[in-house]
Structure 1
Amino acid sequence: MSELRPTPTASILLVDDEENILSSLRRVLRTEPYSVRIASGGEQALQMLREQPVDLIISDARMPGMDGATLLAEVQKHWPESIRILLTGYADINTTIRAINQGQIYRYISKPWEDEELRLVLRQALAFQHSERERLRLEALTREQNQRLQELNETLEQRVKARTAELEQTADMLDLAYEELKRSYVTATEVFSSLVNQRIPRDKQTNTQVIALVRAYAEQHGLGEGPCRDLAMAAALYNVGKLTWDDQLLNRPSDLLYKQERDRYRQYPGQGENLLMALEPLQDAARLIRHHQERWDGSGFPDRLKGEAIPFGSRLLKLAVDFIELQRGIILERRLSRDEALLLITKYSARLYDPELCERFVKLCTELAPDLTLADPSILALDTRRLEPGMVLARNLNADNGMLLLNEGKTLTRLLIDKLIAFEASEEGHYTLFVRTAEDAALATETSS
C-alpha cells in the first residue's frame, strides 16, 4: 500500500550541484505538505521557473557556473513573490552579503543544518508569504472598491440621465441637489452615505433612519449647531468601515458571528474613523464613529471606554444605531418590532447605555411616529400635489433607493414642486414630504437664533 501524503500546500525548488545534498533536503521535507522540485544548477533552475514559478526556492551558495547569490538575484528580479533562502557551507561573507543585497533573501542557513530548524524556517517563511499575499489582496480589494465608489460618484448624474433620458426635469432637479452639496458638508456626507448603501443590502440600509433619530433628539433637547452637525455626519457614515466586508459578513447578524468574523466586525468603527480623519471638517464626527460601539460598563470596543469617558455623541449614536439595527435583523437573527427594540434597550440601560440618556431616548422614540417625525404641530406631512410654494422642508427627501433628492431647509418653489411631481410619476412611486409653512419656518429660525 502506498504511503498517504498530505495535499501539497506550497511548491518548493531545491537547487544544488551535489546530489547527496538534494537527497538529504528531500528526505527532510518528505513528511511536509510541499510539492518539491530539484535542479542541479542555476541555469536549470531558471528554466524551471520560467515554466512554472514556485512559492519558495532554496539554493546552495557555491555552485559551478552560476552561484547561489546570482541565481537568487535573478529570482528576485523576475519572480519577487518567491521566498528566497541561501544554503551555505562556507564561511564566505561576501557571497552571503551579495545574496542579501541583490537577492533580498529571507534567510540563510548554514550546512550542516538541523532538520527541525530547517522545517521551522520553511514554515515561517511560507506563513510570512501567505500573510503578505493576503495583505496585498486586501489592499487591491480596497483600491478596487474605492475606485468603484469614485466611478459611481463621477458617473451618478450621467447614469440617472441615461435611465430617465425622456425626463430632463429629473436631471435638473439633481443638479439643484448637487449645488446644495457644495455649500454643506452635512449634505455631502448624506449623499456619500447613499453611495455606501449601494454596497449594503437594501433591507440592511439604516443610515437614513439613524440620521432622523439623532436629529430629532438634537431638536428636542436643543443641542448646539456644531454637535448637531457632527452627529448628523457621524450617523450618515457610521458604517463606512463595513465597505471591505464580503456579502456573507454583511448579511450575518452580529450576534451569530464566529470568532474570526467577530474580530473583523470589531474593527469597523476604527476603520471608519481612519477613512475620515484626513478630512478636517469630519474629524469630530470620525471620533464619534470610532466610539459608537463602546458600552457604558466598559465592555465595548474598540477602546473599552467606560461611562462618561465615552463621548456624548457616541453614546447617543449607539442608541440610535441599536434601535434601528435591532428592527432590521442586523444585531439579532430575529427582527424585533419597534416596541420590542425599545424594551430591550431599556433592559440593558446602565450596562450598554448611559442610563439617563437612555431614558430620554426611549421617551423620544415613544413620542415619535413610525416615520420618525416629532409630534410637532408645525410639521405637516403632505404628498407632492398638496405642496405650496414657500413651504420649507423639515426633513431630508430621499428616493426609494436611498439617494438624497432634497435636503432639509430647502424652500419649495412652483418649478421645484412641478419637478417633484414629474419625478414621482417617472419612478411610479409616492413621496410624502415633511414641511413647514413659510410662517412656521421663519418662527423656528427666529427661535433657534
Structure 2
Amino acid sequence: MSHSNASTDAVAHALDLSHYVILCVDDEPHISSALRRIFDMAGLSVMVAASASEALNLLAENEVHVVLSDMHMPEMNGADFLAQVRIRWPHIMRLMLTGTTDSSVAIDAINKGEIYRYLAKPWDNDELVCVVREAIDKYALISERDQLLDLTKQQNSELSNMVNILEEKVQERTADLTKSLTELRGSYIASIKAYSKLIVLKNHGLFVHSQAVADLCVKIARLAGCSQSEVQDIYIAGLLHDLGKIGLPESMLINFNSQGDEYQRKIYESHPKSGEDCLGSLYEMGQIASYIGMHHERFDGTGFPKGLKGQQTPFGARVLCAVEAYEELKTSLTGTDKLSSADAARMIHQQSGKLFCPDVCHLLMKALGIDKPDSQPLGSTDGADASQPAHHRGNTPAKAEHPLKPSNFADGQKTDVLIRNVLTYSELMAEIAQHSGAGIVDERDKPKGYLWVRQAGGVHNASPKLVKWLKDHRFLINQEKGWFLPLL
C-alpha cells in the first residue's frame, strides 16, 4: 500500500462518521431499507428518498455530505439527478449504484454528474461502506483545503495592502525630489527588499536563505550577459521566491517530508503558484511572478506545479531552481544535515541535464569558482556506501528526505497504485509499451481530468489484445479520445 493510501485510510477511520449525512436515492423500498441498515450500523446519519424530485427537496432543506443514487428511476434517471446535484451543490460527493453492466451508463454518469465512484449491484457491504468512508474523507480534505486557500488569499490581500502602504510612503518621501529612472528603480528594489524582510519574519531562516539565493542569482545572471533589468528581475525573484510559504503551517517549513502524506504534499506544492498570484498583479512584477511560479520546475519535467520541461521554463526560473537547491543543501532549512559548499556544488553538478539546466549548472560552477566539479560520490569514505551522502550512512537517525537525495529521483520509480490490488502505474506503462502506437496521457492534475490510454489513428486501430486488457482492468472507452480510468 502506498503512503498516500495508508494516510487516507487512517484519516477516514479517524473521522466521526456521525457528523456526516448520506442521502440514498432508490425507487425500490427494500433497497432503500437495506442501505439504511448498512449505513446505520456504520455510524452514519442516513436519509432516504424514493425519487429524484423528493431527493432534491431534501437537499434543499438539509445539509448532506454524500449522495448515493440508483441509475434507473422514474421521472428522472440517476445521471440526470446527479448532474442537478453537481450544479446546485457541487461540494457534495456523488456516488452511482446500478445493476446494469452497460459502460455507457457509467460514461453518462461521469460526464453529467462528475461522480466520485461507480458501484454495481449486487454490492458487497464492506466495500460499499469503505467507498463511502473514502468519499467522506475526500469531502473533509477538500473542505480543509478550501479553508487553507481562503486563509492564504486573506494573507495575500493583507500583504498587498502592506505593499501599497509602503509604496505610498516612498512616493510621499520622494515627492519633492527629481530622480532619474535608474534612481526610481533603485528605490523600488529597496522597497521590495523591505517587503521581503517583512514577509519572512514568519521564519528567520527563510529570510537568510532568500538573501543568499538572490545574491547568487545575480552573479549567475551577470555571467550570462543578462541586461540590467533582467538581472534586477532575477534578484527580486530570488528575494521573494518563497513568498507563497506564508500560507503554510510551520510544520511544512522545517522537516517537511515530500514522500509523506499526499494531501500535505499537494498543499506544499501549491506555494509557488500562491507566490505568483500574490505578485502577479503588482506594477512591473509580471516577469518576477512567473519566475517564482516556476522555480520548482525541473529540467527533466519531474518538478511542480506543472511538470514543465527544459526550455519550457524561462532562464530566470531555471537559475532560481538550481540556486535554491544549492543553498538549501548548505543549510538545515529543510531538515537535512548541512553540506559543505563543495559537496553541495558536486550534488548540483551531478544533476546537470536531469533536475537542472546544464547551462545554468555551468554558470553556477563558474560563479562559485569551481572549474571541474569532482564527480566522486559525496562524503565517500573507505568501506562506506558511495551512493549515499555521508549523513545518510551508518546508524545516524534518518531525517526528512531532501529533493536531491538519489532515491527520490531514480528513473522509472512510479509506484502509485491506480486500483488497489488490481493495477499500478508501472504495470500500466509496461503493458502500453508492448503495443505500437499506444500511449499514456495523464490529465489527473487538471480539473475533471482522467488517466487516458490513446491509440494512434483512433481506438479502432488498437490491437484486440490491448482492448481486452484495458477492459479487464476497468478502463472505459470514449470513441473519440480513447480509454480512461474513472475510479480515481
TM-score normalised by the shorter chain: which range applies? 0.5 to 0.7
Deviations 1:178-219 (A, max 9, x none): 8579976544543443343133x3223321222222234445
Q: Cα offset for 1:314?
A: 2.0
2:52 pairs with 1:57? no
1:142 has 2:134 as partner: no
- Find 1:284's aligned residue among 272, 283, 287: 287
Q: Which residue of 1 aligns with 2:34?
A: 24
Q: CA deviation at 1:248?
A: 2.0
Residue pair 2:253, 2:334 contacting (<8 A) in 1 also:
no
Q: For 1:258, which of 260, 270, 286 is the aligned residue?
A: 260
Quote the offset at 1:116 in angstroms.
0.9
* Residues 276 and 290, structure 2, Cα contact 8 Å, conserved in 1: yes
Aligned positions of 1:44-443 closer than 5 A: 54=45, 57-61=47-51, 69=53, 72-73=56-57, 75-84=58-67, 91-92=74-75, 114-116=121-123, 127-128=134-135, 130-148=137-155, 150-151=157-158, 175=169, 186-199=189-202, 201-205=203-207, 206-219=209-222, 222-252=225-255, 257-258=259-260, 260=262, 261-262=264-265, 264-279=267-282, 281-331=284-334, 333-366=336-369
Query: Secondary structure at the residue paired with 1:58?
Result: strand
* Whole-Å separation in 1 of the counterparts to 2:72 and 2:318: 64
Asked if residue 35 in structure 1 is aligned to residue 35 in structure 2, the reply is no
Change (3 A) 1:182 1:145: farther
CA spacing shift, 1:94–1:333, aligned 2, 3 Å: closer
Where structure 1 has 5 or more consecutive residues not aligned to the other structure, the ranges are 1-5, 37-53, 62-67, 159-170, 368-449
* Residues 193 and 236 in structure 1, CA contact (< 8 A), matched pair in contact too: yes
**Contact (CA 8 Å) 1:59, 1:86: kept in 2 or not?**
no
Tell me how large the CA RMSD over aligned residues is.
5.0
Q: Shift of the alpha carbon at 1:240?
A: 2.8
With the length of structure 1 as denominator, give the TM-score of the two structures: 0.54
Counterpart CA distance in 2 for 1:127 and 1:211 is: 44
Taking the aligned partners of 1:266 and 1:310, their CA distance within structure 2 comes to 17
The residue that corresponds to 1:408 in the other structure is none
Q: Give 1:7 shift.
A: 8.1
* CA deviation after TM superposition for structure 1 residue 137, in Å: 2.6
> What does the per-residue CA deviation read over 1:118-166, in whole Å, with 9 as the maximum and x for residues that have no partner?
98777656645543443333222222243245446757999xxxxxxxx
Query: Cα deviation per residue 1:384-411 (whole Å; 9 max; x = unaligned)?
Result: xxxxxxxxxxxxxxxxxxxxxxxxxxxx
The TM-score normalised by the length of structure 2 is 0.50
Q: Which amino acid aligns with 1:238?
A: H
Are the structure 2 counterparts of residues 204 and 107 from structure 1 closer, same or farther at C-alpha, using a change threshold of 3 Å?
A: closer
- In structure 1, how many angstroms separate the alpha carbons of the residues matched to 2:226 and 2:206? 29
Give the Cα–Cα distance (whole angstroms) in 2 for the partners of residues 349 and 97 of structure 1. 53
2:17 to 6, 10, 23: 10
Structure with the higher helix share, 1 or 2: 1
Residue 334 of structure 1 and its aligned partner are, at CA, apart by 0.4
Displacement of 1:343 after TM fit? 3.6
* Percent of residue pairs identical: 21
Which residue identity is paired with 2:332? G
| 312-321 vs 301-310, which moves further | 301-310
Name the CA distance, whole Å, in 1 between partners of 2:212 and 2:335: 18
With over 3 angstroms needed to count, the CA separation of the structure-2 counterparts of 1:214 and 1:179, relative to structure 1, is farther
Whole-angstrom CA distance in 1 between matches of 2:356 and 2:222: 21
Q: Is the 8 A contact 1:196 1:240 kept in 2?
A: yes
